[in-house]
Structure 1
Amino acid sequence: MPELIFPGPEGRLEGRYHPQPGKPDAPIAIVLHPHPQYGGTMNNRVVYNLHYAFHKMGFTVMRFNFRGVGRSQGEFDQGVGELSDAASALDYLQAMNPNSKHCWVAGFSFGAWIGMQLLMRRPEITGFISVSPPANMYDFSFLAPCPNSGLIINGTADRVAPPKDTNTLVAKLREQKGITISHEEIDGADHFFRDDEAHMKPMIDKVQTYVRRRLTETTR
């Protein structure tokens, strides 16, 4: 998978880019990693698995390190700068794939919060995946209204972002008309889906089932 360095708002950003050879109109997806100050990088297991899940479904995919992580320049900026990083990454991905008709954003934990904000800024995004969104730590009230349908998925044993807060977020979003918020819970999974067979695989399977269904609906 090609490593790449691309320009960000505060200097260079480091990413991984995985195209679909011979398919210039392939859908594109960007995957956002968890909190930089708690060890979050683009090589996080959930992010890595999401990246490959999208590629297996025919997407050209990109993940990257937020500012101050790995070889990305800059310093942590409380989410404000990270949202700008995500916008720059999407700009870069779109410039590399001008014929793509579908654009998705996926994020895990802190990355889910950033991804949902990106959704509000970029009307061309057609779907989202939000894994373990930390609704107990961050304000998601900016999703008023939420512009697109998507999937929120979490573990029932998540102590970092408790299920009750995720359920409240889902219920609030489902009050909005014109979109459909799907919600899946992985029984016994913690915030990080540590058990590959019991938790990570079922989570990725549900993500793929959802995305494939959405893609089928849009190509009819």
Structure 2
Amino acid sequence: MSTERVTISSDCALEGMLTKQGLTCGAVICHPHPLYGGSMHNNVVEALEEGFISSGFSTLRFNFRGVGWSEGTYDEGEGEVRDVLAACTHLRGVLGQTARLVLAGYSFGAWCAARAASQVKDLEDLFLVAYPFSRYEAAPIHAFPGRLYFVGGSQDDISPLDQLMSVYEKVDGEKYLKVLPTSHFYPGVEDELRDFVRQVFGPTSSKV
């Protein structure tokens, strides 16, 4: 296994961290809102990364435009969707076009991931943590035809649990849900988040 800093080519250069182990499966992980301190060094992003790595996945986390060493400026979610697509293209370029790809995001990153998902070729899995239902519509979630994984917090006022459950109940396809006793920022429940990733994506996946 190796980890390296990479440059991702969107319509501006993006900073990323690639951990590579094998060529069969990979996960792209999207961070929370750039205007509120979100970056690829977020606790939830790193917990997701650790969960996927321990499940045998290569991973790519990256900074949206205007964050860290990434070029550009915040673009109201439009350019950020292009950033997600560029990250998926980059990881597929590393692993090969036949590799299984999972797209994951936290908060604003979950919204961007959901909006990009239908444009990612052969994407089967979309993993959403604390999707900000109070700020953005859920339509992109329902447009995705693959497997959906939801993580919510019982005390989250930005991703209210009642709204999450309403959306979850309307999903017709294969779906999985984990509710954690936490607020929107997931302090102290990183281990539980890692464990859920391992449960649904690890070698002995139990699909809870």
1:82 aligns with 2:80: yes
* 8 A Cα contact 1:157 1:191, kept in partner: yes
Aligned partner of 2:187: which letter? R
The two structures have a TM-score, normalised by structure 1, of: 0.87
Provide the rounded CA distance (Å) in 2 between the counterparts of 1:150 and 1:190: 21
CA deviations over 1:76-125 (Å, ceiling 9, x no partner): 11111000011011111111111643110110011111111121112411
How far did 1:211 drift?
Answer: 1.7
How far did 1:215 drift?
Answer: 6.4
Aligned partner of 2:179: which letter? E
Aligned partner of 2:92: which letter? Q
Aligned partner of 1:185: which letter? V
Per the alignment, residue 165 of structure 2 pairs with 167
Per the alignment, residue 190 of structure 1 pairs with 183
Structure 1: unaligned runs, 5 residues or longer: none
Provide the rounded CA distance (Å) in 1 between the counterparts of 2:131 and 2:139: 13
How far did 1:160 drift?
Answer: 2.3
Quick one: percent identity of the two aligned structures? 27
2:190 equivalent among 182, 200, 205:
200
How far did 1:149 drift?
Answer: 1.0
Per the alignment, residue 14 of structure 1 pairs with 15
Residues 23-172 of structure 1 mapped to structure 2, 5 A cutoff? 23=22, 25-98=23-96, 100-172=98-170
How far did 1:16 drift?
Answer: 0.2
RMSD over aligned CA atoms reads 1.8
How far did 1:216 drift?
Answer: 8.3
* 8 A Cα contact 1:120 1:143, kept in partner: no
The two structures have a TM-score, normalised by structure 2, of: 0.92
How far did 1:8 drift?
Answer: 1.5
* 8 A Cα contact 2:88 2:120, kept in partner: no
Aligned partner of 1:206: which letter? F
Per the alignment, residue 181 of structure 1 pairs with 175
Q: Could you list the runs of 4 or more consecutive aligned residues of structure 1 that deviate by over 4 angstroms after TM superposition?
A: 213-217
* 8 A Cα contact 1:32 1:106, kept in partner: yes
Structure 2: unaligned runs, 5 residues or longer: none
Q: SS of the residue aligned with 1:130? A: strand
Aligned partner of 2:13: which letter? R
CA deviations over 1:18-72 (Å, ceiling 9, x no partner): 000xx2x320110000000111000001001111211111111100000000010
How far did 1:213 drift?
Answer: 7.1
